Amino acid sequence: MKIYYDKNDILIREMKQSDAQAITEEEIAQGWDASADKYEMRLRDQSEGKAVALAAEYHGKIAGYVNVYLNSEWGAFANQGYPEIVDFGVLEKYRKRGIGSRLMDVAEQIASEYSDTVCLGVGLHTGYGSAQRMYVKRGYIPDGSGVWYQDTVCGQYADCRNDDDLVLYFSKKLHK
């Protein structure tokens, strides 16, 4: 298991199989609709070389996660050779401790090994508010294609639903 960061009570490492259930249980406990299937898919993608799946621990307890897909396969940056940061989260009880910033630092470092640009999509409902602010503070800018819904541009006046599939895409230039 590869360790990417280990300092000040925070450990960032490669995600392992047992994390899928641990993260799911914690998300359910905080009232989220969660399933281990999502994390098991990330682990499969990692084993196939498509992604790097990361987990964060705080004082030895699972606290967060993020994934870096080495070539974005969907959304505004699909198949352009840019790594995409996908499915970033810090469990609520561990927020405001720098865990999210460390996860993003490691994700961006990994992305910089493949491209000078990294991208991501962020949901628009209030559940994504802290992530939206973090991305702007870290220098991410909207790509200009507008809002996407269910992996297609949501046209002007088109119907959509403010769920996890309604996103805005951002990118950031990385320093190699």
The CA distance from 147 to 163, in Å, is 12
Residue given tokens 């590869």 in the structure block: 2
Phi-psi region at 89: left, alpha or beta (left = phi > 0; alpha = psi -120 to 50): beta
pLDDT over 70 at 64, yes or no: yes
Q: Per DSSP, what are the bridge partners of residue 103?
A: none
pTM: 0.93
The CA distance from 3 to 97, in Å, is 19
At residue 176, the pLDDT reads: 58
Per-residue model confidence as pLDDT tens digits over 78-125: 999 999 999 999 999 999 999 999 999 999 999 999 999 999 999 999
Please give the single-letter amino acid code of residue 38. Answer: K
Cα angle 68-21-6, degrees, rounded to a multiple of 5:
50
**CATH number assigned to the domain comprising residue 33:** 3.40.630.30
Q: How many domains does the chain have?
A: 1
Do 54 and 66 meet the contact criterion of CB atoms below 8 Å apart?
yes
pLDDT grade, residue 1 (50/70/90)?
A: confident
Q: Domain containing 62: what range? A: 3-173
Helices 17-29, 36-47: crossing angle, 10 deg rounding: 150
Instruction: Give which of 93, 96, 94, 89 is closest to 120, Cα–Cα.
Output: 89
The arithmetic mean of pLDDT across residues 50-67, rounded, is 97
